[in-house]
Amino acid sequence: MISTGKSWQGALELEVSLDRPLPGGTAGSLTVRALAYTDLVGTPAPGEALLLNVSALARGLGTGGYALVVGPASPGTVLPPDPAVGPGHLVKARYTPLQTMVLGVDEQESPHHATLADADSLDGMPVVVADLHSALPAVVAGIRHAATAEGRDPSGLKVAYVMTDGGALPAAFSRTIAALRETGWLATCVTVGQAYGGDLEAVTVHTGLLAARHVAGCDVAVVAQGPGNLGTGTRWGYSGVAAGEAVNAAAALSGRPVASLRVSGADPRDRHLGVSHHSVTAYQRVALAPADVPVAVPTADVEDLPAWGAPLTHRIQEQAAALTTARHTRVDVAADTTLLDTLRTSPAGLRTMGRGLDADPASFVTAAVAGIHAHQLATHAGTATA
């Protein structure tokens, strides 16, 4: 190991020197970035030898652009102490070498077990469902934008992030979560399924949503996978298909599902241009319960942006109309440059598929209008807890 870099809760960036080139004959420098989950492998010091997993790095995967520290390779290096035997028997990342045991908010040893034992309703809480992790800060920005526009305190609504396990499993991998939590944009993170490391741990999306409402006292929940979605270029072979199941979960628990569309005006692949085919499959084929589908209606100054344009608006509106003919309700939401200004205030970087706000504004604006609609549902339908 050469040096340390940025750190956030549970994670530390490192600069490391490899002892041999990456697998596959990849040329280039032997110096790479690595990521250590400090709760699992401790805090490495310069000069230490480390055992690294470089599989994703060697394949050039964007989200997996780190070597991951498996553990120290230097004799005598002190690892973090084993966790004390205590309450909690939920095993996540189950039966892998780095499985971790946590206290689930819903299990018998939890102080919240009695609260959740018979909990069966979200009391109409809006639940924004998104495909990509990159939608999270934009959705929250939309909630805050709507509050400010109505003269309300932008932190007046408590927002929970329910992180599913379609992407990264450790919540510590996400600098977005860390930034939103540190600045108060998120009230809590609930990790469900095999995902772990949130403020609350839950077995399923259902108990994660119930915990967000009845334990954390949140007014709005955002459900999305962690960083790093998996896709294969096929209709069904992608991790975001779970977005449709999250719509069903929210509806089954008497919440208000809000289906955030995955949109791009810059993706070179036709299947992702405008409304992604992933949203069509998840919401039209998998989601069996009705949901509101917010669609951005850009004002002229937004539509005039080089990365937007009238043809993109027309394409998105046509695709959204086809998606909402059956069970879902299309909700048109005005989007002007003040919404872009709010998005620029996000404490978490806005990037999706390697593109930022200016390169692909339609992606983030579409996620933000889902947040605007969720704010309206929470405040005008009387579901806010404040």
Q: How many residues does the chain have?
A: 386
Helix (H, G, I), strand (E, B) or coil at 369: helix
Calculate the alpha carbon distances from 162 to 13, 38, 192, 302 in Å. Answer: 25, 23, 7, 31
The pLDDT tens digits for 229-252 are 888 888 888 888 999 999 999 999
Alpha-carbon span 32 to 167, nearest angstrom: 22
Give the residue among 359, 361, 348, 363 at the shortest CA–CA distance from 140: 348
The pLDDT tens digits for 332-359 are 999 999 999 999 999 999 999 889 999 9
116-380 folds as Rossmann fold (3.40.50)
The residues pairing with 191 across neighbouring beta strands, listed in sequence order, are: 163, 201
Report residue 118's pLDDT band, with 50, 70 and 90 as the boundaries: very high
Higher pLDDT, 55 or 190: 190
Alpha-carbon span 143 to 149, nearest angstrom: 10
DSSP 71: E
- Is 225 within 8 Å of 133 (Cβ atoms)? yes
To which H or E segment does residue 335 belong? strand 329-335
As annotated, the residues of the chain forming the CATH 3.40.50 domain(s) are 116-380
Q: Once rounded to an integer, what is the mean pLDDT over residues 275-289? A: 93
Alpha-carbon span 224 to 182, nearest angstrom: 19
pLDDT given at position 125: 98
Q: Once rounded to an integer, what is the mean pLDDT over residues 69-98? A: 81
CA dihedral 102, 104, 107, 109 (to 10 degrees): 60
Q: Whole-prediction pTM value?
A: 0.90
Give 179: exposed, middle or buried? Use CB within 10 Å, 0-12, 13-18, 19+: middle
Tokens of 142: 């939309």
To which H or E segment does residue 68 belong? strand 67-72
Alpha-carbon span 248 to 252, nearest angstrom: 6
Higher pLDDT, 60 or 171: 171
Report the Cα 299 to chain-centroid distance in Å: 28
Tokens of 345: 């205030």
pLDDT given at position 385: 52
Report residue 386's pLDDT band, with 50, 70 and 90 as the boundaries: very low
